[in-house]
Amino acid sequence: MARRHGCPTITDGGESGETALLEVAAGPVTLLVENDGSSIHNLHIKGLEKLSDALQLQEDDTMELGEVPAGEYEFVCDFHPTEMFGKLVAR
């Protein structure tokens, strides 16, 4: 996980089929979602029911998640759900 603009950053750009892990501190969370791939992507965080914009190539979106309780939350790209998925862990 990278940090840009002072917030955790998740970059959509490869359909690896491996679980991505994003760790944040519990409390107020802002994420930067970047698409450096070759097709449309988004970030859907289940359990928090947060959804980024649909991002074209080289676009990004800042997601304000609000107060995130400690726990684990699954996320997925709705356009590539079997190839792009992971877990957001708030501690």
| Residue 78 main-chain phi, psi, to 5 deg | -65, -20
Predicted confidence (pLDDT) per residue in 54-68, tens digit: 999 888 889 999 999
Taking the C-alpha atoms of residue 70 and residue 84, their distance in angstroms, rounded to an integer, is: 23
The per-residue pLDDT for 26 is 96
Strands 85-90 and 20-24: parallel
Tell the burial category of 56 from Cβ atoms under 10 Å away from its Cβ (0-12, 13-18, 19+).
exposed
Output 6 or 31, whichever has higher pLDDT.
31
The per-residue pLDDT for 3 is 44
Predicted confidence (pLDDT) per residue in 10-52, tens digit: 665 455 667 888 899 999 999 988 888 788 989 999 999 999 9
Q: Determine which of 2-6, 7-11, 49-53 has the lowest per-residue pLDDT on average.
A: 2-6
What is the CATH number assigned to the segment(s) 2-90?
A: 2.60.40.420
Yes or no: say if 34 and 60 are a contact pair by the CB < 8 Å rule. Answer: yes
Residue 5 has pLDDT above 80, yes or no: no
